[in-house]
Structure formats: C-alpha cells, structure tokens
Amino acid sequence: MAVTLRDVAALAGVSPRSVSNVVNDFRYVSPAMQAKVRAALDELDYKPNLLARGLRQGRTGTIALLLPEITVAYFSELAHEIVERASQLGITVMIDETSGAPNRELALLEVAMRSSWVDGVLLSTLGLNGAALAGVKSDVPVVLLGERTAKSALDHVGIDNVRASRDAVQHLIDSGRRRIAAIGGSHAPSDMTSRLRLKGYRAALRAAGLPTEDYLYARTPKYRRGDAAVAVRALLAHPEPPDALFCFSDELAIGSLRELYEQGLRVPSDISVVGFDDIEESRFTTPSLTSISPDKHQIASTALETLMARIAGSDLRPRALQVGYQLLARESSTRQ
C-alpha cells in the first residue's frame, strides 16, 4: 500500500495538516517542524496521491490535447511544442487521438470535459464544425487550435489561412508560373481548412488575372502523403496540365513529389510544388519543399496562455487569436 499523509504524520508525531503544509510549502511553518516532517517524508518516500488532491481541490494540473492523428507530422510537432511549453508551466498534458472522426472527437471531448480529469482542453479539430461544438456543454474551458470553424463560443488560435495561401500562390506567380493547381481536402462545409486555403488560392489567382478553373482543384480524402497520387494523376491527365501545385499540406506535397517523379516530371523545372505546415521532413526531401510555416511555438504559447487564463476564471468574450507564419522558399519552387 502506498504511503499516505497520515503515515508521515504518525512517524513525525505531528498532525496531517502540518505535513500538508510542508508538502505544499505553505508560508508559516516553523523550521523545527519543517525538519521533522521532511525527515519523515524522506524516510517513507512519500508521494502525494494526485487523484485525492485533484478530487479535493477540483483542479488536477492536467490538460488534454485532442488531436486528429498523432502520426501526422504537423500534429506531432505541435504536440511537442505544447508539451514543452506546458512542462515549463508545471502542467501535464494528456495527448489523445480522435482519428478526426467527429463522433470520436465529440466522445473524447465529452469525457475529457466532464470527468474532472483535466482542467482544460486544447482541441485541434478537423471534422467538428461550430454547430456540433455549440452542442457541447463545457464544464471546463476549451481552446480550439487550427482553423476557425464557424463562429463558436470558444477561443481559437491559428494563422490567417487565407492570407498565407494567397502568399504561397503569389510566390508561384512571382516565379513565373501560370497554371497553378491546388490539391487537398474536400471543400465540404466541415472541412474549413480546404475552404480557407482554396479561398486564398483563388484570391491570388484572380488578383493576377489568372484562370481559376475548376479542374485545377483536386480534392483528396485526407491530407496525407498517400492521398496525393490520384490527385496529381488527374491534374496531369488534363490537356493543359498545371505548371505548379499548391498543396494544402506538406504531406500532400511530399506525396505529389513522389508521384511527379514517377511520372517523369522534374521539380521545379517542369513543375513547382509548394506545401503547407513546414514539417521537419520538408527540409530533407529532394528537392526540398517550399512551404508555409505557421509559428508552432507561438501557437503553443498562445493557446496555453489563453487556456490557463480561462481556467483561472477569465470571463472575456471568446477571441480568435492569430499568430504569425512565414513562407519558406526552398528548392521545389526556386531552383530551375
């Protein structure tokens, strides 16, 4: 059986209260008491039962991070930043995978929020739209990561997807590309990512007086490497194939690089490729991949600060917080 506060108190010959005082380094404890208690603490190798503490205090010092898929590099990199920052703040992060399935997301969210396990939730949602989220009664604060899914009553941290996409496409235009295709997502109402990025893509084309024909957008079931091949083949099959690809994720871009290679096209001389997310892998592909790089570090800090403020009781109205991004031009769009 585990050592309890009472055991320590008994050994030290003091009350549990005094032990608690020492453990939680309370202000007014006499040095003599300190010493006595510490000795007993060490001797018994006491560790507080965090369950009991959480039950008593109503707070656990733990937050949940709900991600669609941990194997998606962008999410694992984001998770890393969040864990890192949280650990500085003395907060434990419980990472959980939702598979991006709305029902599983909802289920996990409900559990996380209602079961007192966690003080707050960071939710990176793909499939959940504002309506679904509105139906969730939150006992604990929730901060959304990623695109703004309709107007929900929740705080939200992300980058300006429309502007970032426009920048990416503008970069392709600047380098002389004219038939620029977009790849990624479904453009379904729930897929806010593709909607916003497509919007930016089209805005850039229109501003340059370039065609925004429908066949230049290829949908994909998800945003993973393996989803790109079919899309690329479809685009290349057209009588007027594109001379550039704007992929809505780096993984799609990497899958595209592979398919272009198999089709015998050279990047960037025959066709340029730009991705989105700036995952580490993109610096090592051949050619290395031009990408939009959201400031993940800042996303992590901002999200955590916002969540901590809510947990502390902040009652401001929900805010949409935007953090910075960069366009990193690498070989896939620059080396001729």
Partner DNA sequence: CTGTTAGCGCCTTCAC
Partner DNA sequence: GTGAAGGCGCTAACAG
- State the Cα–Cα distance between residues 18 and 34, nearest whole angstrom: 9
Interaction with a second copy in 164-223: which residues (CB under 8 A)?
none
- The nearer residue to DNA, 20 or 186, going by C-beta atoms, is 20
238 binds, among a second copy, DNA, none (CB under 5 to 8 A by kind): none
Question: Rule CB under 8 A: is residue 110 a binding residue for a second copy?
Answer: yes
Contact 247, 256 (CB under 8 A): yes
The residue within the footprint of DNA, chosen from 17, 178, 206, 283 (CB under 7 A), is 17
Which SS3 state, helix, strand or coil, does residue 326 take?
strand
Report whether 249 contacts 73 (CB < 8 A): no
77 binds a second copy (CB under 8 A): yes
Q: Residue 141: is the preceding peptide bond cis (ω within 30°)? A: no
Give CA–CA dist 216/92, Å, rounded: 45
- Mind giving me the DSSP string for 158-207? E--HHHHHHHHHHHHHHTT--SEEEE-S---TT-HHHHHHHHHHHHHHHH
Q: Which of 28, 209, 237, 284 binds a second copy (CB under 8 A)?
A: 284
Considering only residues 14, 44, 309, 311, which one is a binding residue for DNA as defined by CB under 7 A? 14
Compare residues 233 and 283 and give the one whose CB is closer to a second copy: 283
Is residue 144 classed as helix, strand or coil in its secondary structure?
strand
Q: Is residue 49 part of the contact set for DNA (CB under 7 A)?
A: yes
Q: Please report whether residue 61 would count as binding DNA according to CB under 7 A.
A: no
Q: Which pair of structure tokens corresponds to residue 103?
A: 């029902």
Helical (H) or strand (E) element with 222? none
Residues 132-171 that bind a second copy (CB under 8 A): 137, 139
Among 29, 107, 134, 188, binds DNA (CB under 7 A): 29
Residue 203's binding partner, choosing from a second copy, DNA, none, with beta-carbon cut-off 5 to 8 A by kind?
none
45 belongs to the binding site for DNA (CB under 7 A): no
Q: Which of 6, 17, 206, 283 binds a second copy (CB under 8 A)?
A: 283
Q: Which is nearer to a second copy, 170 or 298 (CB)?
A: 298
Instruction: Based on the shown chain and the rule CB under 8 A, indicate whether residue 80 belongs to the binding site for a second copy.
Output: yes
**52 or 207: whose CB is closer to DNA?**
52
Segment interacting with DNA (CB under 7 A) among 25-33, 219-227, 240-248, 258-266 = 25-33
Q: Which long-range contacts (CB under 8 A, 24 or more apart) does 116-120 make?
A: 116/54, 116/55, 116/58, 116/60, 117/60, 117/62, 117/64, 118/60, 118/62, 118/63, 118/64, 118/94, 119/59, 119/60, 119/61, 119/62, 119/63, 119/311, 120/63, 120/64, 120/307, 120/308, 120/310, 120/311
Residues that bind a second copy (CB under 8 A): 2, 45, 47-52, 54-55, 60, 69-71, 73, 76-77, 79-80, 83-84, 92-97, 110-111, 114-117, 137, 139, 225-226, 254-255, 257-258, 261, 280-281, 283-286, 288
